[in-house]
Amino acid sequence: MDGIRAGLLMGEKADSDLARRLRQDGVPLGELFSWMSGLYFRGKLAYAKAFAVAPPHVSASYVITACGGLVSPDTLVTLERLREIAAIDIDPSDVRYRAPLDCDCRVLSNLVGRHGEVVLLGSIATPKYVEPLLEVFGKRLVVPDEFIGRGDMSRGGLMLRCVLSGTELTYVPVRGAILRGRRPPRLAPCDRSA
């Protein structure tokens, strides 16, 4: 949220279509984050839309926010709300981050049941997401095995390729997973003619 693209959107002189929509009625959170973080978040969102399965009346995907817990990517966010989110760091020791996240995770845990898996489409190498999620979901929290050793952009590209091919990744429990593995080979270029 403190990157160049976020500044172009949230700055006083921001005048793009997206910035105007953000100031007026709001923009879906998924669209905002996809624009600000580019390939990585676009890959997450597309992958979740293609493969996520959820019980009835439960969103199939959520975005972890700095002060709002788990938020559906379809939720409209205004500039004021985006600034509130940007003002808080994602820090597992900060109650402003943890309280809403812990509450939402407990609700989600009850909705998915004791045997439902929760897929984390993010890094497990830092505790900011893993620590709070493991406390609630335990062995039900899984991550794509193919993420191990990949950077953000590579994971984003991998997820977009999976959507194009209709191939779901392989999930392994976060607890006990390798945090930093050998870097896998580069992804092959996409066939853009398909």
Model confidence pLDDT, tens digit, residues 71-90: 999 999 999 999 898 889 89
Asked if residue 183 has pLDDT above 80, the reply is no
Instruction: Give all strands (DSSP E) within the chain, no chain letters.
Output: 27-28, 63-64, 70-71, 76-77, 118-119, 141-144, 171-173
Q: Residue 149 gets which letter from DSSP? A: T
For residues 153-161, give the mean pLDDT. Answer: 91
Side-chain half-sphere CA neighbours of 15 within 13 A = 1
Domain assignments of the chain as residue spans, ordered by start: 4-173
**Per-residue model confidence (pLDDT) at position 184:** 65
In angstroms, the CA 152 to CA 36 distance is: 14
Pairing of strands 141-144, 118-119: parallel
> Residue 25 is encoded by which pair of tokens?
């009625």
Percent of the chain with pLDDT over 70: 88
**Exposed / middle / buried, residue 18 (Cβ in 10 Å: 0-12, 13-18, 19+):** middle
For 22-74, list the strands marked E by DSSP: 27-28, 63-64, 70-71
Pairing state of beta strands 118-119 and 76-77? Answer: unpaired
Q: What's the CA gap between 94 and 156, in Å, rounded? A: 28
pLDDT at residue 169, rounded to an integer: 96
Q: Work out the average pLDDT over 40-47.
A: 92
Residue 39 has pLDDT above 60, yes or no: yes
- pLDDT, residue 180, reads 60
